[in-house]
Amino acid sequence: MEKTKSPEESRKLLDKITFDLTRSIVKRDELTHFWYFILIMFAGVGLWGWGIQIRDGLGVTGMRDYVSWGMYIANFVFFVAISLIGFLISSSLHLLKIKWSHPISRVAEQVAIAGVALAGIIIVNDMGRPDRFLNVFLHGRFASPIIWDVTVVTTYLTISVLLYYIPLIPDLALIRDRGGDDIPKWKMQVYKILALGWNGNAEQYKLVYHAMRVLMILIIPVGLSIHTVTSWLFAATLRSGWDTTIFGPYFVAGAFVAGAAAVVILMYAYRVRYKLGEYFENLHFDYMGKLLVFVCLVYLYFNINEFWVPAYKMKTAEGIHLRNLFVGSFAPMFWWTQMTGLIIPIFLMLFKFFRKPLPLAIISVFILIASWLKRYIIVIPTLEHPFLPVQNVPEHFKHYSPTSIEIMITIFSFAAALLIITVLAKMFPVITIWEYAEEKGVNKEILSEPKK
Amino acid sequence: MKIKLLFAALFFLAQQGMAQEWLVPDDQKNVQNPSEYNLDNVKKGKEIYLRDCKSCHGDPGKNNGLPLVPPPPDFTSDIMQANTDGELFYKITHGRGGMPQFETTISEDDRWRLVNYIRNFNPENEPVLVEEPPKKAKILASVNEEARQVEVFAEYQDKDSNYVVLAETPISIGAKKAFGTLPIGQVLTNEEGRAEYHIPESLIGDEQGMVTLVIDLGEGFITDDVVLDAAKVGQPKPTPKLIQKDVLWSTNENIQVWLLLSYLAAVLGAWGTIGYVVFQIFKISRAGKKQ
């Protein structure tokens, strides 16, 4: 934290910070409209595909008796994965008192909310009879990882929303009090309501800090469970490729890789689009790059364990599965994900140049794509090799390839996730203003001063 | 020259289009059949044929084998009989394409007996096993639940179309199962054409111990198999309820208490804390009104 500034300086600084960080809320140009148009169009097309799927049933997908989990579940795991970054950055790093990560917290929370919300929706996408969704709760088996997963996804979503909202309250009051005249009236109205009559007294700050702290601690076990339980959906079976004990930490490590990449991409987008170069500084990208290297190395370590140990033994079924990944039909995808999702990025990010904003954002795009493919590789090849021989079935039962409906619905999920993030960024500042200002030496009293 | 070419082309086409000739190594061709060509060996060969070969090669003389490519030849056909004993033995032993190998499943002696059986259909041989034309027959059967026994009475139609008792003839008893009839035993009829068969104690029926018995006269007679009404003559089928074992992945009724408690405790803990945080939000709102 910097030295407390004089009231005069503080006011000037706070005005500047507020001005910069509300730019995303105020800004509304051609590109904004175009971006909304694109997202809504893709989401709409996907919803239309979903309509067809609900009308005609899951037969419109490529899923059949053997491969009964396809792109949807791979996509589900991906979204759960990216959502986990919220817990790493806005809770773990916070609790460890790592200062540089503070401005990134809200971005991470955006990713978390969008990711876990979509994860929930994708599960419903994967249901042949979504109207029976409630049966999961009414008739669920408490001993089933699926019930645990549903439980933990909803819990994590709730906590993420709270963890997004509570630090936002002082910001809302701040904009309510000193926001520029260019902020639309209805938004101001929303801020007024959501600010809950915040006036910045000591008791309120105490409550905010307390609630945040409770949430940050609570989110650690919940965050760890969400992806561990997701991994158990696979690991609790006997199937080759899934029947392993390291799936929990393997998934968690992989999730950090995917999520950190998503956060870097968002940071870069905000930095460029909302001219936040002074807030998402080179330093932040540098640290995020280092964090990425670290989580990638952990993930690489788990990957080596995950493949090397069974490959050493090549047990019958496991051997078929591994050969299929290493040299068989999934080999191109497998090596692509390992190279562009882990090995090359690790190597590149060791150099300072590649931890600069643009190169890091580009690397992150590759990592994110590889992360998605990686989930595909975890789900589908195993299902294509059941233990019983595949016989007397039509040819298209033997191999899975997603149909256009599945691809449409998957694109819907991406569009919807981006839409959630966009709306959040357009509604609320992407960095916690009061926290940031305080760290720059602005006094709390100044924060709650109404506009002159 | 031209003719040579034509032959070459024909030969080539023949190789491509028709079944390729099945070559047997010279030293195997002329191996002598060590088992004697007599009724015993031919009968044994027939038994094995019915068990292991008929499904593809069909009934001898009827050319009703499976439509495979190349087709499994009829045992009476020239293709079959043109083989030397050694060739037959080699082909049965090693198989090729659609013809499975029997090296590992049929003993060497029995493979030679199969060769003997094939030779029974060779026009140059005196057949040792002559199949009489099948006779019409009738079976009456009933099951006695208390005595656990099946009572059978059989008649057949003689040359003058009169039904007379069928004496000293084996009758097969089977039990109907999901995938066909399970043979459980045989009895010989007595002088009066009657037989009593004691159902073994160990026979397993359905969940209630009900068994549907099938009575059959076997080869050489034309009858409808007699299928008796299900009778309670078997042991009840054990139906292990896997899901009710003491396993972690059981149903809600059998869930392990500690698992349920852990789940509920975790859920209550998390949501209780969430509730607490939501309460803090109310407190924030209230604290705002104070000043």
Number of domains in chain A: 1
Query: What's the rounded Cα separation, in Å, for the pair A103 and A159?
Result: 19
Q: DSSP labels for chain B?
A: -HHHHHHHHHHHHHHHHSPPP----HHHHT----S--SHHHHHHHHHHIIIIIHHHH-STTTT-----SSPPPPTTSHHHHTS-HHHHHHHHHH-BTTB---TTTS-HHHHHHHHHHHHTT-TTS--SS-PPPPEEEEEEEEEETTTTEEEEEEEEE-TTS-EEE--S-EEEEEEEETTEEEEEEEEE--TTSEEEEEPPTT-B-STT-EE-EEEE--TTEE-PPEEPPPEE-SBPPP---GGGSS-TT--GGG--HHHHHHHHHHHHHHHHHHHHHHHHHHHHHHHHHH-
CA separation for the pair A231, A247 (Å, rounded): 6
Closest Cα in chain A, distance from residue B97 (Å):
19
| pLDDT over threshold 60, residue B17 | no
Q: Do A218 and B274 touch (CB under 8 A)?
A: yes
Question: Please, what sign has the CA dihedral across residues B221, B224, B229, B232?
Answer: positive
pLDDT at residue B15 is higher than 70: no
Q: What pLDDT score was predicted for residue A184?
A: 85
Shortest CA distance to B149 belongs to which of B212, B233, B230, B209? Answer: B233
Is A224 at the interface with chain B, CB within 8 A?
Answer: no
Looking at residue A369, its pLDDT comes to 96
* Secondary structure, 3-state, chain A: CCCCCCHHHHHHHHHHHHHHHCHHHHCCCHHHHHHHHHHHHHHHHHHHHHHHHHHHCHHHCCCCCCCCCCHHHHHHHHHHHHHCHHHHHHHHHHHCCCHHHHHHHHHHHHHHHHHHHHHHHHHHHCCCCHHHCCHHHHCCCCCCHHHHHHHHHHHHHHHHHHHHHCCHHHHHHHHHHHCCCCCCHHHHHHHHHHCCCCCCCHHHHHHHHHHHHHHHHHHHHHHHHHHHHHHHHHHCCCCCCCCCCCHHHHHHHHHHHHHHHHHHHHHHHHHHHCCCCCCCCHHHHHHHHHHHHHHHHHHHHHHHHHHHHHHHHCCHHHHHHHHHHHCCCCHHHHHHHHHHHHHHHHHHHCCHHHHCHHHHHHHHHHHHHHHHHHHHHHHHHHHHCCCCCCCCCCHHHHCCCCCHHHHHHHHHHHHHHHHHHHHHHHHCCCCCHHHHHHHCCCCHHHHCCCCC
Q: Is residue A178 part of a domain?
A: yes
One-letter amino acid for residue A304 of the chain: I
- Model pLDDT, residue B162: 85
Tell if the CB–CB gap between A201 and B267 is shorter than 8 Å: no
Q: Which residues of A touch B288 (CB under 8 A)?
A: 196-199, 201, 204
Residues of A (151-190) whose Cβ lies below 8 Å from B: 151, 155, 158-159, 162, 165-166, 169
Minimal CA separation from B257 to chain A, in Å = 10
Residue B13, pLDDT score:
46
For residue A117, is it within any domain? yes
The whole domain housing A332 covers 7-445
- Chain B positions touching A160 (Cβ under 8 A) are none
Rounded to whole angstroms, the Cα distance separating A161 from B20 reads 74
Which residues in A lie closer than 8 A to residue B284 (C-beta atoms)?
Answer: 169, 196, 198, 204, 207-208, 211
Residue A450 maps to a domain: no
Choose the closest CB to A142 out of B263, B281, B284.
Answer: B263
Q: Which residues of B touch A208 (CB under 8 A)?
A: 284
Do residues A267 and A284 make contact, with C-beta atoms less than 8 angstroms apart?
Answer: yes
Phi, psi of A320 (to 5 degrees): -60, -45
Q: Which two three-digit tokens encode residue B50?
A: 């019915």
pLDDT score for A140: 85
- Cβ atoms of A21 and A452 closer than 8 Å: no
Q: Which residues in chain A have Cβ-Cβ distances shorter than 8 Å to B285?
A: 196-197
∠ CA A321-A323-A329 to the nearest 5 degrees?
90
Q: Is residue A148 part of a domain?
A: yes
Whether B273 has its CB under 8 Å from any CB of chain A: the answer is yes
Let me know: does A297 contact A346? Beta carbons within 8 Å: yes
Burial class (CB in 10 A: 0-12, 13-18, 19+), A233: buried
Report in angstroms the alpha-carbon separations of B275 from A53, A155, A219, A383, B213: 38, 11, 14, 41, 67
B residues 189-248 lying closer than 8 A (beta carbon) to A: 248
**Smallest CA–CA distance from A144 into chain B, residue:** B249
- Written as tens digits, the pLDDT of chain A (452 aa) is 566 777 788 888 888 888 888 888 887 889 999 999 999 999 999 999 999 999 999 999 999 988 999 999 999 999 999 999 988 898 999 899 888 988 999 999 999 999 999 999 999 999 989 999 888 888 888 888 989 999 999 999 999 999 999 999 999 998 888 877 788 888 889 999 998 888 888 889 999 999 999 999 999 999 999 999 999 999 999 998 999 999 999 999 999 999 999 999 999 999 999 989 889 999 999 999 999 999 999 999 999 999 999 999 998 889 999 999 999 999 999 999 999 999 999 999 999 999 999 999 999 999 999 999 999 999 999 998 888 877 778 888 888 999 999 999 999 999 999 999 999 999 999 999 888 988 888 877 777 776 65
All residues of chain A having their beta carbon less than 8 Å from the beta carbon of residue B267 are 151, 155
What's the confidence (pLDDT) of residue B218?
72
Tell me the count of A-B CB pairs closer than 8 A.
80
Nearest to A204 among B250, B274, B288 (CB): B288
Token readout for B192 is 């009066």
Q: Is the pLDDT of residue B9 over 80?
A: no
For residue B132, what are the contacts with CB-CB under 8 A and spacing of at least 6? B220
Read off the pLDDT band of B133 (50, 70, 90).
confident
Cβ of B273 and A144 within 8 Å?
A: no
Inter-chain CB proximity B288 and A214 less than 8 Å: no
Q: How far apart are CA A78 and CA A76, in angstroms?
A: 5
CB A78 within 8 A of CB A372: yes
pLDDT-above-90 percentage for chain B: 34
Tokens of A25: 């809320």
Contacts (Cβ under 8 Å, ≥6 apart) of B80: B73, B74, B88, B118, B121
Largest CA distance in chain A: 82
Cβ-contact A226, A80 below 8 angstroms: yes
Find all residues with CB under 8 Å of B39, minimum gap 6, and list them. Answer: B128, B129
CA distance A406 to A324: 24
Q: How far is CA A273 from the centre of its chain?
A: 20
Q: Which residues in B lie closer than 8 A to residue A162 (C-beta atoms)?
A: 274, 277-278
pLDDT tens-digit series, residues B221-279? 888 778 888 888 888 988 877 666 678 888 888 888 899 999 999 999 999 999 999 99
Backbone angles phi and psi of A44, in degrees to 5: -65, -45
- Minimum distance, in Å, between the CA of residue A172 and any CA atom of chain B: 13
* Chain B neighbors of A225, CB-CB under 8 A: 266
Assigned domain for A350 exists: yes
- Phi-psi domain of A139 (left: phi exceeds 0; alpha: psi -120 through 50; beta: other): alpha
Residue B202's nearest CA partner among B231, B156, B236 is: B236
CA–CA separation, A54 and A47 (whole Å): 10
Q: Chain A residue with minimal CA distance to B283?
A: A207
- CA B258, CA B248: separation in Å to the nearest integer? 10
Helical packing angle, B257-290 and A145-165, nearest 10°: 10
Gap between the terminal Cα atoms of chain B: 119
Asked whether residue A319 is assigned to any structural domain, the reply reads yes
- A141 reaches B (C-beta below 8 A): yes
Phi, psi (degrees; rounded to nearest 5) at A144:
-100, 130
Does residue A1 lie within any of the structural domains?
no
Whether the upstream peptide bond of residue B70 has omega within 30° of 0, thus cis, is: yes
B270 vs A142, A198, A222: nearest CB = A222
Determine, for residues B274 and A151 on separate chains, whether the beta-carbon distance falls below 8 Å.
no
Q: How far is A228 from chain B (nearest CA, A)?
A: 15
Shortest distance between the Cα of A388 and any Cα of chain B, in A, equals: 19
CB-CB contact of B169 with B191 (8 Å):
no
**Could you tell me the CATH number of the domain that includes residue A13?**
1.20.1630.10
**Which residues of chain B lie closer than 8 angstroms to A151, CB-CB?**
263, 267
Residue B180 has pLDDT above 50, yes or no: yes
Owner of token pair 């076990």:
A221
pLDDT of residue A80: 94
Which of A79, A55, A39 has the alpha carbon at shortest distance from A405? A55
When scoring A147, A156, A169, A204 by the number of chain B Cβ atoms within 10 A, the one with the most, hence best to mutate, is: A204
- Residue A86 falls within a domain, yes or no? yes
Distance, in Å, from the CA atom of A270 to the CA atom of A357, rounded to the nearest integer, reads 11
Residue ranges of A 64-123 with Cβ closer than 8 A to chain B: none
- Per the CB < 8 Å rule, is A158 touching B255? no
Chain B residues close to A155, C-beta within 8 Å: 267, 270-271, 274
Q: Give the separation between CA A61 and CA A53, rounded to whole angstroms.
A: 8
